[in-house]
């Protein structure tokens, strides 16, 4: 990882930023990376990996008990098939921006390619820096970054000077490489975002189907809709009224309880998540 304190002069194959761009590409198999980045919400990632073998954001939504609306809302801004033709991608949060960079690096290694990747971050934290360490990624930061990086490109920016001070390289070293000329006023370089010369890039969110269609298929989907519909119409249904002798039906019922669409013991009722799933079906 090479850290830059202002926009690099060379053109990049891929630019990931929070300011502009199309849908973000992520590799849904990178569950272990995502789990480290989203602590303490890695339980959602582990549940999705166990249920689906991957961690698409809509899969995280259907297994999450608390953050299902959040995962579902940002899933609209992500694609999984392949890096989009539009090389500039906008990420909805820093975690997914980092995961997008890791996805591009993984794909490049598998295809024996070496694309140039630029990741713009509002700041660089220690945990994010450790995830990107040693990878062929350029990171440009607007604010004061972590000091964990492999190479630093000097710039007359406060963030650069602060990083040098944290490394114990302030004073004369910073004066030679990063401090502006001192006169009546101190003038730093203006920060230039990679989006400054990108023009108007359309960002069109993905259309998502029903949450139940993510978790169920075929007859199981019909069973799930039927169970939620019955409970919704009745308000609360005695647990014993469900005929669970059918293995398929029992499996559907178990998942609806396990992932928070239904709740209760003697009687079963719909949760807010269950109402959300039913009305979005």
Nearest Cα neighbor of 88 from 207, 193, 206, 208 is: 193
pLDDT for position 71? 96
pLDDT over threshold 60, residue 106: yes
* Residues in CB range of 227: below 8 A, 6 or more apart: 242, 252, 253, 256, 262
pLDDT over threshold 60, residue 183: no
pLDDT over threshold 90, residue 83: no
What pTM was estimated for this model as a whole? 0.84
Q: Do residues 277 and 65 make contact, with C-beta atoms less than 8 angstroms apart?
A: no
Question: How far from 222 is each of 46, 48, 68, 212, 219, CA to CA, in Å?
Answer: 27, 22, 22, 9, 5
pLDDT over threshold 80, residue 97: yes
Q: Residue 182's pLDDT band (boundaries 50, 70, 90)?
A: low
* Residues in CB range of 131: below 8 A, 6 or more apart: 33, 36, 37, 98, 102
Range from 7-11, 90-94, 112-116, 164-168 that averages highest in pLDDT: 90-94
Percent of the chain clearing pLDDT 90 (strictly above): 49
pLDDT mean over 250-278: 93
CB atoms within 10 A of CB 197: 8
Pairing of strands 117-121, 138-141: parallel
pLDDT for position 28? 94
Q: Residue 185's pLDDT band (boundaries 50, 70, 90)?
A: low
CB atoms within 10 A of CB 40: 5
Nearest Cα neighbor of 255 from 223, 229, 230 is: 223
| Beta partners for residue 139, in sequence order | 3, 119
Class of residue 70 by CB neighbours under 10 A (exposed 0-12, middle 13-18, buried 19+) = middle
């Amino acid at each position: 990882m090479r850290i830059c304190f202002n926009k690099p002069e060379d053109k990049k194959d891929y630019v990931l930023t929070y300011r502009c761009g199309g849908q973000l590409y992520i590799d849904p198999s990178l569950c272990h990376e995502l789990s480290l980045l989203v602590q303490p919400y890695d339980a959602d990632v582990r549940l999705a990996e166990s249920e689906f073998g991957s961690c698409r954001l809509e899969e995280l939504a259907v297994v999450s008990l608390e953050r299902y609306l959040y995962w579902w809302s940002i899933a609209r801004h992500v694609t999984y098939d392949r890096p989009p033709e539009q090389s500039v991608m906008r990420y909805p949060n820093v975690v997914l921006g980092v995961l997008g960079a890791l996805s591009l690096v993984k794909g490049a290694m598998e295809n024996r390619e070496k694309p140039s990747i630029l990741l713009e971050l509002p700041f660089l934290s220690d945990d994010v820096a450790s995830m990107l360490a040693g990878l062929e990624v350029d990171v440009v930061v607007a604010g004061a970054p972590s000091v964990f990086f492999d190479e630093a490109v000097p710039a007359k920016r406060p963030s650069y000077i602060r990083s040098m001070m944290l490394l114990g390289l302030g004073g004369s070293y910073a004066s030679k490489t990063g401090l502006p000329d001192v006169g009546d006023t101190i003038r730093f370089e203006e920060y230039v975002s990679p989006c400054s010369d990108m023009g108007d890039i359309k960002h069109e969110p993905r259309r998502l189907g029903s949450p139940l269609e993510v978790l169920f298929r075929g007859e199981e989907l019909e069973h799930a809709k039927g169970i939620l519909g019955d409970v919704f119409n009745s308000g609360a249904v005695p647990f014993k009224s469900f005929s669970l002798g059918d293995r398929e039906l029992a499996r559907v019922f178990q998942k609806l309880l396990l992932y928070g669409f239904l709740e209760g013991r003697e009687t079963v009722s719909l949760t807010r998540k269950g109402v959300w799933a039913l009305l979005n079906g």
